[in-house]
Homo-oligomer: A and B are copies of this chain.
């Protein structure tokens, strides 16, 4: 794990933050100073269930899954985090309680991590970051609301279409059983769904 971070990498996360708050050069330097670059091979565990989540992960390259495991041992993917997405357990990070989710790399992935202590330092020194976090959190809430509505009102084929709109191109990069898990259907059924779509498109 080399903590040195190239300018391209900083530019990516800076652009992400800039969508919410404007930082001057000094603030940006302070922000960059707390970032920790990490390389995760495929299947690497970033957070395992029951741990306390102490790091906000920003994905520079690759893809991460956030998931939980139900009573029958079935894995449910809660969200994917490809390039330019954030991944962490908000509840656990904010409250310091054991997390109910696991986080793992699906591909070889490079992330920038911000520790909880560093984040609190940023809040004190650059209060704008409070706003950044609050909005990140609000967006997570809104995204979750959409998912609840969809899982209640759409059927599997429509949820699949929504997934493809939300994560363009991701489908080709990750195992389909993970897509099935995200949609809340079995891998077998997703397979037949896809077959149906193909035969309908060009009969």
Contact = CB atoms under 8 A, between A and B. Distances in A.
Interface of A: 68, 70-72, 74, 76, 78, 90-91, 94-95, 100, 137-138, 140-142, 144-145, 147-149, 151-153, 184
A147 B145 CA distance: 10
A110 B164 CA distance: 45
Copies of this protein chain in the complex: 2
B144 A145 contact: yes
Nearest to A183: B152
Nearest to A144: B144
Nearest to A76: B152
A7 B141 CA distance: 35
29 contacts: A68-B149, A70-B149, A70-B153, A71-B153, A72-B153, A74-B153, A76-B149, A76-B152, A76-B153, A78-B148, A90-B138, A91-B138, A91-B141, A91-B142, A91-B145, A94-B138, A95-B138, A100-B145, A137-B137, A137-B141, A140-B141, A141-B141, A141-B144, A144-B144, A147-B148, A148-B151, A151-B151, A151-B152, A151-B184
Contacts of A91: 138, 141-142, 145
A25 B68 CA distance: 44
Nearest to A146: B100
B74 A141 contact: no
A76 B154 CA distance: 12
Most buried by B among A90, A94, A152: A152
A134 to B, nearest CB: 8
Nearest to A89: B145
Given A137-B137, A141-B144, A144-B145, 14 more contacts: A68-B149, A71-B153, A72-B153, A76-B149, A76-B152, A78-B148, A78-B149, A91-B142, A94-B138, A137-B141, A140-B141, A147-B148, A148-B151, A151-B152
